[in-house]
Amino acid sequence: MRVTGGQAKGTELKILPGRSIRPTTNVARQAIFSILENSAEGWERALDLYAGSGALGIEALSRKTEWVDFVDHRKKCCDIIKHNLEKMGIIHKAHIYCCSVKRAINFLSNKYDIIFLDPPYSDPSTNDLLARLGKSKLAGEHSMIVICHANRFPLGPEYDGLHLVKERHYGGTFISIYQKEN
């Protein structure tokens, strides 16, 4: 897997071996950032939830984002994210939280311009998580929430101030983009 755009375009990213994570494909990441480049207002801060290898947050750092907080509960994934950030020389532009997403939502206090969610496709709690993000202080006015998911757990058009603005389908990956509106 490689960074698909920006300053680090072409840089190979280390991923967890085996099938314990499902990295977002290059095609899906290119589509996400094409959409964001045409619709997101701010790129200063991003949050990468269920970060895995950190590919989405690293892609954001390679483009316009100034800071990314990464969250994953698996120590091996946190180590891989750190490795990828160090390899690219951008570890100073990020923080890695090795904890559950639910716990991170409770203690993080920044507002993020872009929030990436790439939960396991078998996780039925994505709807609840979107509702929690909509109520949280993490999503400010005009924040974009990007979710990579399977269609087996359909998402709604609205969640507590989050409104669906785009939806795309790439193979088995569905990309839904919500925007926070007050």
In the chain, domain spans: 26-180
Number of H helices, E strands in the chain: 5, 8
Question: What region, left, alpha or beta, does residue 144 occupy, with left being phi > 0 and alpha being psi -120 to 50 degrees?
Answer: beta
- Eight-state DSSP code of residue 116: E
Q: What is the pLDDT of residues 17-70, one digit of tens each?
A: 765 566 677 788 888 888 888 876 778 999 999 999 999 999 999 998 999 999
Q: What CATH number matches the domain at 26-180, 3.40.91.50, 3.40.50.1220, 1.10.10.10, 3.40.50.150?
A: 3.40.50.150
Q: pTM score, two decimals?
A: 0.93
Please report, in tens digits, the pLDDT of each residue of the chain (182 residues total): 888 787 878 788 888 876 556 667 778 888 888 888 887 677 899 999 999 999 999 999 999 899 999 999 999 999 999 999 999 999 999 999 999 999 999 999 999 999 999 998 878 888 899 999 999 999 988 899 999 988 777 889 999 889 999 999 887 788 999 999 86
Q: Percentage of the chain with pLDDT > 70?
A: 96
Q: What are phi and psi of 103, to 5 degrees?
A: -65, -45
Q: Which DSSP string corresponds to 44-112?
A: SEEEEET-TT-HHHHHHHHHT-SEEEEE-S-HHHHHHHHHHHHHHT-GGGEEEE-S-HHHHHHH----E
